[in-house]
Protein backbone atom coordinates (compact mmCIF):
# COMPACT_ATOMS: atom_id res chain seq x y z
CA UNK A 1 0.00 0.00 0.00
CA UNK A 2 1.13 3.54 -0.69
CA UNK A 3 0.14 6.83 0.89
CA UNK A 4 1.07 8.83 -2.19
CA UNK A 5 -1.92 10.62 -3.66
CA UNK A 6 -2.33 10.50 -7.43
CA UNK A 7 -1.82 14.10 -8.63
CA UNK A 8 -4.85 14.96 -10.71
CA UNK A 9 -7.37 17.78 -10.73
CA UNK A 10 -9.69 16.18 -13.27
CA UNK A 11 -12.66 14.37 -11.76
CA UNK A 12 -12.63 10.72 -10.86
CA UNK A 13 -15.33 9.03 -12.92
CA UNK A 14 -17.20 6.31 -11.03
CA UNK A 15 -19.24 4.08 -13.34
CA UNK A 16 -22.00 2.38 -11.41
CA UNK A 17 -22.05 5.14 -8.83
CA UNK A 18 -25.32 3.88 -7.34
CA UNK A 19 -24.08 0.30 -6.94
CA UNK A 20 -22.79 -1.57 -3.90
CA UNK A 21 -19.15 -0.72 -4.54
CA UNK A 22 -19.54 2.39 -6.69
CA UNK A 23 -21.50 4.25 -4.05
CA UNK A 24 -18.89 3.45 -1.45
CA UNK A 25 -16.08 4.58 -3.75
CA UNK A 26 -17.87 7.88 -4.38
CA UNK A 27 -18.31 8.46 -0.64
CA UNK A 28 -14.63 7.83 0.09
CA UNK A 29 -13.37 10.07 -2.69
CA UNK A 30 -15.71 12.89 -1.74
CA UNK A 31 -14.79 12.63 1.95
CA UNK A 32 -11.15 13.07 0.86
CA UNK A 33 -12.10 16.28 -0.93
CA UNK A 34 -11.45 14.85 -4.39
CA UNK A 35 -13.54 15.78 -7.45
CA UNK A 36 -15.96 13.02 -8.40
CA UNK A 37 -18.26 12.49 -11.38
CA UNK A 38 -21.04 10.04 -10.58
CA UNK A 39 -22.17 8.01 -13.58
CA UNK A 40 -24.99 5.50 -13.92
CA UNK A 41 -28.27 5.10 -15.77
CA UNK A 42 -29.95 7.34 -13.14
CA UNK A 43 -27.19 9.83 -12.25
CA UNK A 44 -26.88 13.38 -13.52
CA UNK A 45 -24.08 12.04 -15.71
CA UNK A 46 -25.78 9.25 -17.64
CA UNK A 47 -23.79 6.13 -18.42
CA UNK A 48 -25.47 3.08 -19.90
CA UNK A 49 -23.50 0.05 -21.12
CA UNK A 50 -26.28 -0.67 -23.63
CA UNK A 51 -26.13 2.85 -25.11
CA UNK A 52 -22.65 3.73 -26.31
CA UNK A 53 -23.72 7.29 -27.11
CA UNK A 54 -23.61 7.93 -23.33
CA UNK A 55 -19.98 6.91 -22.97
CA UNK A 56 -18.16 9.89 -24.52
CA UNK A 57 -19.96 12.61 -22.52
CA UNK A 58 -19.23 10.69 -19.31
CA UNK A 59 -15.56 10.16 -20.17
CA UNK A 60 -14.75 13.64 -21.49
CA UNK A 61 -12.46 15.45 -19.07
CA UNK A 62 -12.24 12.54 -16.62
CA UNK A 63 -8.96 11.50 -15.06
CA UNK A 64 -9.06 8.07 -13.40
CA UNK A 65 -12.08 5.81 -13.86
CA UNK A 66 -13.59 3.10 -11.65
CA UNK A 67 -15.26 0.61 -13.99
CA UNK A 68 -18.09 -1.71 -13.01
CA UNK A 69 -19.94 -3.60 -15.73
CA UNK A 70 -23.67 -4.26 -15.75
CA UNK A 71 -25.21 -6.74 -15.44
CA UNK A 72 -21.99 -8.75 -14.87
CA UNK A 73 -18.77 -9.48 -16.75
CA UNK A 74 -20.04 -13.02 -17.29
CA UNK A 75 -22.55 -11.60 -19.79
CA UNK A 76 -21.69 -12.42 -23.43
CA UNK A 77 -21.66 -8.71 -24.35
CA UNK A 78 -18.91 -7.84 -21.88
CA UNK A 79 -15.79 -8.39 -24.00
CA UNK A 80 -17.03 -6.36 -26.96
CA UNK A 81 -18.20 -3.58 -24.66
CA UNK A 82 -14.95 -3.45 -22.70
CA UNK A 83 -12.92 -3.37 -25.91
CA UNK A 84 -14.94 -0.42 -27.17
CA UNK A 85 -14.88 1.28 -23.78
CA UNK A 86 -11.10 1.14 -23.42
CA UNK A 87 -10.74 2.67 -26.89
CA UNK A 88 -13.20 5.43 -25.95
CA UNK A 89 -11.41 6.09 -22.66
CA UNK A 90 -8.05 6.30 -24.42
CA UNK A 91 -9.46 8.75 -26.95
CA UNK A 92 -10.83 10.85 -24.08
CA UNK A 93 -7.40 11.02 -22.45
CA UNK A 94 -8.24 9.03 -19.33
CA UNK A 95 -5.19 8.53 -17.06
CA UNK A 96 -6.07 5.34 -15.24
CA UNK A 97 -8.63 2.52 -15.14
CA UNK A 98 -9.61 0.33 -12.19
CA UNK A 99 -11.78 -2.63 -13.15
CA UNK A 100 -14.05 -4.52 -10.78
CA UNK A 101 -13.85 -8.18 -11.80
CA UNK A 102 -15.06 -11.54 -10.52
CA UNK A 103 -13.21 -14.71 -9.61
CA UNK A 104 -13.33 -17.78 -11.81
CA UNK A 105 -15.35 -16.29 -14.68
CA UNK A 106 -13.79 -16.90 -18.13
CA UNK A 107 -15.47 -13.80 -19.54
CA UNK A 108 -14.15 -11.71 -16.64
CA UNK A 109 -10.62 -12.97 -17.26
CA UNK A 110 -10.93 -11.95 -20.91
CA UNK A 111 -12.16 -8.50 -19.88
CA UNK A 112 -9.27 -8.13 -17.46
CA UNK A 113 -6.80 -8.71 -20.30
CA UNK A 114 -8.61 -6.21 -22.50
CA UNK A 115 -8.22 -3.54 -19.83
CA UNK A 116 -4.66 -4.46 -18.81
CA UNK A 117 -3.33 -4.58 -22.36
CA UNK A 118 -5.01 -1.38 -23.52
CA UNK A 119 -3.26 1.93 -23.82
CA UNK A 120 -4.19 3.20 -20.33
CA UNK A 121 -2.48 2.29 -17.02
CA UNK A 122 -4.87 -0.14 -15.34
CA UNK A 123 -5.50 -2.18 -12.22
CA UNK A 124 -7.86 -5.12 -11.70
CA UNK A 125 -9.73 -5.95 -8.50
CA UNK A 126 -10.76 -9.61 -8.87
CA UNK A 127 -13.32 -10.13 -6.13
CA UNK A 128 -15.05 -13.02 -4.41
CA UNK A 129 -18.80 -12.95 -3.65
CA UNK A 130 -19.86 -9.80 -1.83
CA UNK A 131 -20.96 -10.29 1.76
CA UNK A 132 -23.48 -7.53 1.03
CA UNK A 133 -25.36 -9.83 -1.37
CA UNK A 134 -27.14 -11.00 1.78
CA UNK A 135 -28.06 -7.48 2.89
CA UNK A 136 -28.18 -5.27 -0.21
CA UNK A 137 -29.01 -7.59 -3.10
CA UNK A 138 -31.02 -10.59 -4.21
CA UNK A 139 -30.59 -12.65 -1.02
CA UNK A 140 -32.26 -10.06 1.23
CA UNK A 141 -35.83 -11.31 0.81
CA UNK A 142 -34.89 -14.88 1.71
CA UNK A 143 -33.21 -13.74 4.92
CA UNK A 144 -36.20 -11.58 5.82
CA UNK A 145 -38.59 -14.43 5.10
CA UNK A 146 -36.65 -16.92 7.22
CA UNK A 147 -35.68 -19.26 4.38
CA UNK A 148 -32.89 -18.80 1.85
CA UNK A 149 -33.19 -21.06 -1.20
CA UNK A 150 -30.34 -21.54 -3.68
CA UNK A 151 -29.02 -24.26 -6.00
CA UNK A 152 -25.78 -24.31 -4.02
CA UNK A 153 -24.35 -27.10 -1.88
CA UNK A 154 -21.64 -27.07 0.76
CA UNK A 155 -18.99 -25.25 -1.30
CA UNK A 156 -17.04 -22.70 0.71
CA UNK A 157 -16.92 -19.06 -0.38
CA UNK A 158 -14.67 -16.34 1.14
CA UNK A 159 -17.37 -13.65 1.29
CA UNK A 160 -15.84 -10.20 0.84
CA UNK A 161 -16.92 -6.95 2.47
CA UNK A 162 -17.82 -4.30 -0.13
CA UNK A 163 -16.12 -1.77 2.16
CA UNK A 164 -12.84 -3.60 1.56
CA UNK A 165 -13.45 -3.43 -2.18
CA UNK A 166 -14.12 0.30 -2.00
CA UNK A 167 -10.99 0.92 0.07
CA UNK A 168 -8.96 -1.06 -2.46
CA UNK A 169 -10.53 0.79 -5.38
CA UNK A 170 -9.73 4.19 -3.90
CA UNK A 171 -6.15 3.11 -3.23
CA UNK A 172 -5.81 1.87 -6.83
CA UNK A 173 -7.37 5.08 -8.19
CA UNK A 174 -5.30 7.50 -6.11
CA UNK A 175 -2.12 5.66 -5.12
CA UNK A 176 1.00 4.64 -6.99
CA UNK A 177 2.52 1.27 -7.79
CA UNK A 178 -0.69 -0.43 -8.90
CA UNK A 179 -0.37 -0.27 -12.68
CA UNK A 180 -0.67 -3.69 -14.27
CA UNK A 181 -1.55 -5.36 -10.99
CA UNK A 182 -4.32 -7.89 -10.46
CA UNK A 183 -5.41 -7.98 -6.82
CA UNK A 184 -7.50 -11.04 -6.02
CA UNK A 185 -9.58 -10.02 -3.02
CA UNK A 186 -11.29 -12.42 -0.61
CA UNK A 187 -12.65 -12.37 2.89
CA UNK A 188 -10.66 -14.03 5.70
CA UNK A 189 -12.77 -17.23 6.02
CA UNK A 190 -14.39 -19.85 3.86
CA UNK A 191 -18.10 -20.16 4.63
CA UNK A 192 -20.77 -22.22 2.94
CA UNK A 193 -24.03 -20.41 2.20
CA UNK A 194 -25.57 -22.47 5.00
CA UNK A 195 -22.81 -21.27 7.36
CA UNK A 196 -23.33 -17.65 6.35
CA UNK A 197 -27.10 -17.94 6.75
CA UNK A 198 -26.66 -19.45 10.21
CA UNK A 199 -24.32 -16.63 11.26
CA UNK A 200 -26.89 -14.04 10.16
CA UNK A 201 -29.56 -15.93 12.10
CA UNK A 202 -27.35 -15.89 15.18
CA UNK A 203 -26.85 -12.14 14.86
CA UNK A 204 -30.62 -11.65 14.49
CA UNK A 205 -31.50 -14.08 17.26
CA UNK A 206 -33.78 -16.22 15.11
CA UNK A 207 -33.54 -19.31 12.94
CA UNK A 208 -33.09 -18.84 9.20
CA UNK A 209 -33.21 -22.00 7.11
CA UNK A 210 -30.96 -22.61 4.15
CA UNK A 211 -32.42 -24.91 1.52
CA UNK A 212 -30.51 -26.39 -1.41
CA UNK A 213 -32.63 -27.04 -4.50
CA UNK A 214 -31.84 -28.52 -7.93
CA UNK A 215 -30.68 -26.00 -10.52
CA UNK A 216 -33.65 -26.71 -12.79
CA UNK A 217 -36.09 -25.97 -9.97
CA UNK A 218 -34.35 -22.71 -9.17
CA UNK A 219 -34.35 -21.69 -12.84
CA UNK A 220 -38.07 -22.44 -13.06
CA UNK A 221 -38.74 -20.38 -9.95
CA UNK A 222 -36.87 -17.37 -11.37
CA UNK A 223 -38.80 -17.59 -14.62
CA UNK A 224 -42.09 -17.91 -12.73
CA UNK A 225 -41.24 -14.71 -10.86
CA UNK A 226 -40.90 -12.90 -14.18
CA UNK A 227 -37.15 -12.41 -14.01
CA UNK A 228 -36.80 -13.01 -17.74
CA UNK A 229 -35.07 -15.79 -19.64
CA UNK A 230 -31.87 -13.92 -20.55
CA UNK A 231 -31.21 -12.69 -17.02
CA UNK A 232 -32.19 -16.05 -15.54
CA UNK A 233 -29.64 -17.86 -17.70
CA UNK A 234 -26.96 -15.38 -16.70
CA UNK A 235 -27.73 -15.95 -13.01
CA UNK A 236 -27.62 -19.70 -13.48
CA UNK A 237 -24.31 -19.48 -15.33
CA UNK A 238 -22.85 -17.28 -12.61
CA UNK A 239 -23.94 -19.66 -9.86
CA UNK A 240 -22.71 -22.70 -11.75
CA UNK A 241 -19.38 -21.13 -12.68
CA UNK A 242 -18.33 -19.32 -9.52
CA UNK A 243 -19.67 -21.80 -6.97
CA UNK A 244 -18.38 -25.10 -8.33
CA UNK A 245 -15.38 -25.18 -5.97
CA UNK A 246 -12.87 -23.39 -8.19
CA UNK A 247 -12.86 -20.37 -5.85
CA UNK A 248 -12.75 -22.36 -2.60
CA UNK A 249 -9.51 -20.80 -1.33
CA UNK A 250 -8.31 -17.62 0.38
CA UNK A 251 -5.92 -14.99 -0.93
CA UNK A 252 -3.93 -12.18 0.67
CA UNK A 253 -5.04 -9.57 -1.89
CA UNK A 254 -6.60 -7.23 0.67
CA UNK A 255 -3.40 -7.24 2.68
CA UNK A 256 -1.32 -6.66 -0.45
CA UNK A 257 -3.13 -3.49 -1.48
CA UNK A 258 -4.33 -2.13 1.89
CA UNK A 259 -1.76 -3.43 4.36
CA UNK A 260 -4.41 -4.86 6.68
CA UNK A 261 -6.58 -7.94 7.06
CA UNK A 262 -9.98 -8.13 5.33
CA UNK A 263 -13.13 -7.55 7.34
CA UNK A 264 -14.92 -10.65 8.59
CA UNK A 265 -18.38 -11.74 7.43
CA UNK A 266 -19.70 -11.62 10.98
CA UNK A 267 -18.81 -7.94 11.25
CA UNK A 268 -20.69 -7.21 8.01
CA UNK A 269 -23.71 -9.10 9.33
CA UNK A 270 -23.66 -7.19 12.61
CA UNK A 271 -23.50 -3.83 10.82
CA UNK A 272 -26.39 -4.79 8.56
CA UNK A 273 -28.48 -5.96 11.52
CA UNK A 274 -27.89 -2.67 13.33
CA UNK A 275 -29.09 -0.84 10.19
CA UNK A 276 -32.30 -2.88 10.28
CA UNK A 277 -32.03 -4.22 6.72
CA UNK A 278 -33.53 -7.60 7.69
pLDDT single digits (tens) 138-175: 899 999 999 999 999 999 999 999 999 999 999 999 99
| Least confident piece of the model among 1-5, 47-51, 190-194, 259-263 | 1-5
Q: Which pLDDT value is given to residue 9?
A: 83
Using the predicted structure, report yes or no on whether residue 236 has a pLDDT greater than 70. yes
Sign of the alpha-carbon torsion through 240, 244, 246, 248: positive
> Cis omega before residue 71 (within 30°)?
yes
Using the predicted structure, report yes or no on whether residue 3 has a pLDDT greater than 90. no
pLDDT bracket for residue 8 (50, 70, 90): low
Q: Specify the fold of 12-128+161-187+249-263.
A: Rossmann fold (3.40.50)
Q: Which pLDDT value is given to residue 2?
A: 45
Using the predicted structure, report yes or no on whether residue 190 has a pLDDT greater than 70. yes
Please say whether the beta carbons of 159 and 191 come within 8 A. Answer: yes
Terminal-residue alpha carbon distance, the chain: 35
Edge-to-edge strands, sheet with 36-40: 45-46, 36-40, 12-15, 64-67, 96-102, 122-127, 182-185
| Structure letter (DSSP) for residue 161 | -
Q: What is the mean pLDDT of residues 189-194?
A: 98
Q: What is the mean pLDDT of residues 110-132?
A: 98
Amino acid sequence: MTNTTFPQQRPFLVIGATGKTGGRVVDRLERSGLPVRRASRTSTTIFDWTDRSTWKPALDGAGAVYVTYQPDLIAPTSTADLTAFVAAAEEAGVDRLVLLSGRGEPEALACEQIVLTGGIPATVLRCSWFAQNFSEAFLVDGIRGGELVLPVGSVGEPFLDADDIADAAVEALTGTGHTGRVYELTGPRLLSFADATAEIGEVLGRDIAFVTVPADDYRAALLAEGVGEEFTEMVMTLLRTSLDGRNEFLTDGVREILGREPNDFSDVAKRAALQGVW
